[in-house]
Structure 1
Amino acid sequence: MLEMPSYHALAAMVLTVVVFYLFARGKMSTEIVSLGTIAVIAVGLYFYPLPNAQPTDGLALAFAGFGHYALITICALMILGRGLVVTGALDPVSRVLERVWKVNTQLGLFVSLAIAAGLSMIINDTPVVVLLLPIFVALAQRGAMPASKTLIPINAAVLIGGMATTIGTSTNLLVVSIAVDLGMPQMSVFHYTPIVLAAALVAFPYLWLVMPRLLPDNSPDKNHNERRFFAKLRVTELSGLVGKHFDEIVDTLPEDFRFEERPTGPFQAGQRMTISGTHSGLEHAMRLLRGPVAPAWVVDRIRSEGKARDEDIEVVEMIVTGDSRLVGRTLASSNIADHYGVAVLGIHRPARPLAEEPSPVDADLRLAEGDVLLVMGLGDGLEAFTVGDGLLRLEGAREMPRRSKAVIAGVIMFGSVVFASVGLVPIAISALAGAILMFVTGCVKFDRVGRALSGKVIVLVAASIAIGRIVLDSGAAMWLGEALALGLQHLPPAGVVAAIMLFVTVLTNFASNATAATVGTPIAFNLATQLGMPQEPLVLAVLFGCNLCYATPIAYQTNMLIMAEGRYSFADYLRTGVPLVLIMVTTLSILLAITYGM
């Protein structure tokens, strides 16, 4: 007869359900719910401590998440990813994938999912996501599928691939080691890989064709048109355009960029062509075509001064006000570069339906109130230009990639991934060491760390760790396991496998996969003995269930890593993850039953 759970266990289960409801409902911000959860656990355990515990032990449990190695690891991984972004280290990989995406969007996503799943079979899931995350964010900025529609499918593919081998995740190793301690034979690296690959084939169409349609477009600029800037592209001897015809290069150009005038013959050094594009479109095209849009001498001076002062180059948007001295002048007559040491890359002219305005492609365009300038320079020069010429600086300044550090950032990331993947050091240590090296080498600057970290993710991780601890320490997880074992006695073997997998899946999505593995493996082992069933399929059901962590952001650290970049809500994980969990549980249960003759 199953005894009633203790008051602490009952309270832990009720709290978990309430928190899940609040997250899923989405009416309160993630930060408020997370901090409220931590506060409830801290206050509750202070006045009603766990057995044989002091009131202050409850405070330590509630706030332990803020110093937990998992949170520190996630923050370090965010910093590593930031280093790749600000140095442009992954641009070559992005451009290769971009060509595939340009052929066909669905083909690009298919190839990306296959790469993600394949890599995670031999490399730990977390480093794979850290490597891929900035690539798909960059692809989204260049006109591919929005990041919010690709990151959850890519993450799910990584998790499925990581499930396929015993070295794919640390959780797999944990389950296997617990099973060996209980008396099972050691499993080889690819012991159960065919089962997972067969299930992956069933799930892949959902990841590829359905899941992106269930996700919103959370692109930051989706609700308004980006400004289009007009500029003069200078064709130099080193340019990739010299000797080529327009038709040869038109298909390689980004969608948010175009030539406003078409040359009659091949491009020649010394030509100046009128172009237009969004901020990101101009940057991408200039890099692709190797042609400047501002005088080379001022660009070279900005770069040399930035390197000498170890200062980032910024590109900002500025509005010409009615009091500016620039009103009525052309760029050539304003001597902006001589006065302030900054370079104007392009001009955006807003629509003025009641006035006759010269075309933006006019070489002698005179600036007017309301025009927006795209300006590159160092901090002091930009500030002097803003104040001196009566401009209004807009939000959203972008740093120019520190490409001189790209190789260093790539080596640091590669080293961190390799050391963690081959098991030389834990992922926490390799990530921290990599983050420190990013700072020491100047790939990431201390005063810009805030841009790499997400406050929402930090408090959500801390809250999830606190919930996992209280569910385990209160005895709630063990009581649920005993209740499961009692209810499985009358099910057929295949039903027992499915029920164990589903139980562990629920536990891993609400507590943690380590908790699920620790609780679920002994239960499955003992249950197999009691019911006279083979132990291996039940232990594999636990291992698979620990990896089916798609339904909540708190289930696994890679879910947390993509949350900020994809601007996801709790409901996005539920909407896309629950169907995938059901597909995988059903498919894996059937495959286990067939494989082991149950």
Structure 2
Amino acid sequence: MHLLPDLHAASAIIIALTMFYGFVKGTLRVEIVSLLTIGAIALLLYVMPMPGQDKYAGLQLAFEGFGHYALVTICSLMILGRGMVVTGALDPAARALARVWQYNKMVALLFTLVVCLLLSMLINDTPVLVLMIPILAQMAARGGMPASKTLIPVNAAILIGGMSTTIGTSTNLLVVSIAQDLGMRQLHVFEFTPIVFSAAIFAVPYMWLVMPRLLPDNTKAVAAESRTFLAKLRIPQDSPMRGKTIEEVRGNLPEGVVAWLPAGATGHLGRRMLVSSTFEGLQETARKLSAVLAPRWLVERMLADSSRSGKDLMVAEMIVAPDSRLIGLTPKTAGLEGVALLGIHHARQPLRDTRPHSPDAPMKEGDVLLVMGLPEDLRRFADADGLLQIEGGQEMTRSGKAPVALAIMAGSVGLASVGLVPIAISALAGAILMFATGCVRFERVGRALSAQVIVLVAASIALGKFMLVSGAAAWLGGLMAAGLQYLPPAGVLAAIMLFVTVLTNFASNSAAAAVGTPIAFNIANKLGLPAEPLVLAVLFGCNLCYATPVAYQTNMMILTEGDYTFGDYLRSGVPLVAIMVTALSISLVFWYGI
């Protein structure tokens, strides 16, 4: 091995280090750093082509990531995951978790960890965590475990589940695709799941029993008043609750929902019932009673308009501004057009509020309206009636499409897992079916795809290829092999895993995959070891991102929700990294017989 790398190899190493520095520094957005990396590779190879190649070959290398099958697969899986979310296909799992949390906190935490681990095997980590955050926050508000003691363990379980299949994360697909380009055989979806599960046997007890004790109780810091809405439920004639007493009805309602009958009612449930709860509570109550939160004819007309226009219905919160025409009017006399009022939150008044505790009370400045409609109708309503829409909006789930979305996801994963077709083909076919069946609106595909992930993956593919063809991977592999040759196979695997883990926790797991995979191949050649376990060591190392908040996007998502500090991640994450590295290294040795 040469003592120093040649010019192209040195340039590849410098570009990789600069890319890592850009991620760690955080001054520039990830997309900008990724695009600059692609541009640097393209410009360098255009000005200084590789030996035996013309200047246009470098352009092809730099930009081929955008057309790589791994990127197509990742985008297709994003669309499949989006279909599962917008159709409400994951809602039954969320409801089951919420029921378990009502009985025993410790059993519920273990059940939640296992469910999240299993869900993230096939669904991207981010949607699973998005599903869990409100559940854990709601359970904490009702006297369960503080969210600050559960969010990091649940996030870790999601990350472990994501590392257990080839489609669990985009990084897994990136490592596997780079390895295939280097000559390794194609790995099936569940190829290395038993290896990860053998390590999870040791990790789950730590996350369940020890990790919460290492985390602070930040209940006071993160506590926020959940906005409750007054609403009127329209009960259909065939509802099993019709005719029952209000006490009997209350016994069947979700926890935290307050219900009473309108003035003049006889004591038994008829066509109307008044309730007070969060939006989630209102939705669950309406589901249990087969009721609706707005006139049924209006809801049916809106659903028809949504189907005809191909646009999703949205639910948004709007504040009554000081100059709103609605002040002093009731929902009945306001003459609302184009939207459905689902509920109203009465703002606290400086003096005693004399309004009745009812959704039919006159509206005042500061009240928050919960309204449903098409996006343009919501904007028109806000502009015309002097309302301020609170940032964001929530899409109404198309629950009728949930079985279709589940079937498409199961078919895509099933075909790939048994090896009938590559995951790139089955995932793309699944994404097309999500569009064709209306589970995902084509014009809203931007909500499914992450520009950051797309550009990052494309840049990582280009960097990995450049590291390989320039000889940088061979030089670094030889350098590391010189120090690893005296270690047993388990030690070699652990060292590679730790090397990639450090890169992942302080930079980007995609970039770590791009650098680590070709290096692992070269180390395997130098030490006479099979390449596959070393490549899996890289893949696992890219997913051991528990020790810092910047290691992965889900870590950042829970930072504010749990009011965590950098030290909280280190204190709870480093022991988990040690457990996983030890268990995975030993499992790889036994699995591959090295």
Distance 1:448 1:213, change over 3 A: farther
Question: 2:114 is matched by which residue type in structure 1?
Answer: A
Question: What is the letter of the counterpart of residue 69 of structure 1?
Answer: Y
Q: Match for 1:153 among 143, 156, 159? A: 156
Q: Please report how far the alpha carbon of residue 282 of structure 1 lies from its aligned counterpart in structure 2 after TM superposition.
A: 2.4
How do residues 181-196 of structure 1 correspond to structure 2 at under 5 angstroms?
none
Instruction: Tell me how far 1:270 sits from its aligned partner.
Output: 1.0
Q: Contact 2:77–2:427 (CA<8 Å) still a contact in 1?
A: yes
2:331 and 2:184 mapped to 1: Cα distance? 74
Equivalent of 1:425 in 421, 424, 429: 421
Distance, in Å, in 2 between the alignment partners of 1:416 and 1:489 is 42
- Note if 1:14 corresponds to 2:42: no
Q: Structure 1 residue 141 and structure 2 residue 134: aligned? A: yes
- Measure the CA separation in 1 of the matches of 2:447 and 2:177: 34
CA RMSD of aligned residues (A): 4.7
Partner of 2:142: none
Residue equivalent to 2:123: 129
Q: Which amino acid aligns with 1:232?
A: K
Structure 2: unaligned runs, 5 residues or longer: 140-146, 167-171
Q: Tell me which residue corresponds to 2:65.
A: 65
Q: Does 1:342 align with 2:342?
A: no
Q: Could you tell me which of 536, 541, 545 is aligned with 1:548? A: 541
Q: Which amino acid aligns with 1:156?
A: L
- For 1:82, the equivalent position in structure 2 comes to 82
Indicate conservation of the 8 Å contact 1:417/1:430, yes or no: yes
C-alpha contact (below 8 Å) 1:12/1:476 kept by paired residues: yes
Look up the SS of the partner of 1:401 in the other structure: coil
Aligned-partner residue type, residue 343 of structure 1: A
1:159: how far off? 5.0
- What is the total number of aligned residue pairs between the two structures? 561
Q: Does 1:469 find its partner at 2:465?
A: yes
* Pick aligned residue for 2:433 from 434, 437, 451: 437
One-letter code aligned to 1:413: M
Partner of 1:232: 232
CA contact (8 A) 1:347 1:371 kept: yes
* Partner Cα separation in structure 1 for residue 232 and residue 47 of structure 2: 70
Q: CA deviation at 1:409?
A: 2.0
C-alpha deviations, 1:297-356, integer Å up to 9, x for none? 3333333444455443232333334444432222223343xxx25321111222221x33
Provide the C-alpha distance between the structure 2 equivalents of 1:260 and 1:519, rounded to a whole number of angstroms.
Answer: 67
TM-score scaled by length of structure 1: 0.76
Post-superposition offset of 1:494: 5.8
Q: CA deviation at 1:465?
A: 1.8
Instruction: Give 1:3's aligned residue.
Output: 3
The answer as to whether partners of 1:83 and 1:443 remain within 8 angstroms in 2 is: yes
SS state at 1:549 partner: helix
Whether the 8 Å contact between 1:319 and 1:392 is mirrored in structure 2 is yes
Return the alpha-carbon distance in structure 2 between the equivalents of residues 20 and 545 of structure 1.
Answer: 17
For the Cα contact (< 8 Å) 1:513–1:546, is it kept in 2? yes
Quick check: 2:87–2:405 contact (8 Å CA) kept in 1? yes
- Distance in 1 separating the partners of 2:498 and 2:225: 45
The separation in 1 between residues aligned to 2:181 and 2:71, in whole angstroms, is: 24
| In the alignment, structure 1 residue 452 sits paired with structure 2 residue 448 | yes
**2:188, 2:417 within 8 Å by CA — same for their partners in 1?**
no
Q: Tell me if the contact between 1:46 and 1:58 (Cα under 8 Å) persists in the aligned partners.
A: yes
Aligned mates of 1:301, 1:77 — CA distance in 2:
33
483-492 or 500-509: bigger deviation: 500-509
**Distance in 2 of aligned mates of 1:450 and 1:564:** 22
Give per-residue Cα distances to partners, 1:440-470, cap 9 Å, x unaligned: 2222112211111222222222222222122
CA distance in 1, matches of 2:193, 2:395: 44
* Residue of structure 2 equivalent to 1:184: none
Which letter maps to 1:37?
T
Structure 1 residues 113-128: aligned runs within 5 Å: 113-115=113-115, 125=121, 128=122
Distance 1:119 1:479 in 2: 40
CA distance in 1, matches of 2:389, 2:444: 20
Deviation, 1:35, is 2.3
User: What is the SS of the residue equivalent to 2:415?
Assistant: helix
Matches of 2:192 and 2:7 in 1, distance apart? 40
Question: How far off is 1:416 after superposition?
Answer: 1.2
% identity of equivalent residues = 45
- Tell me how far apart the structure 2 counterparts of residues 382 and 78 of structure 1 sit (CA, whole Å): 28
Q: Which residue identity is paired with 2:280? A: S
Judging changes above 3 Å, is the alpha-carbon distance between structure 1 residues 198 and 370 closer, same or farther for their aligned structure 2 residues?
closer
- 2:440 partner SS: coil
- Tell me the equivalent position of 1:524: 524
Structure 2 length normalisation: TM-score?
0.77
Q: For residues 578 and 441 of structure 1, do their structure 2 counterparts lie closer, same or farther at Cα, with a shift above 3 Å needed?
A: same
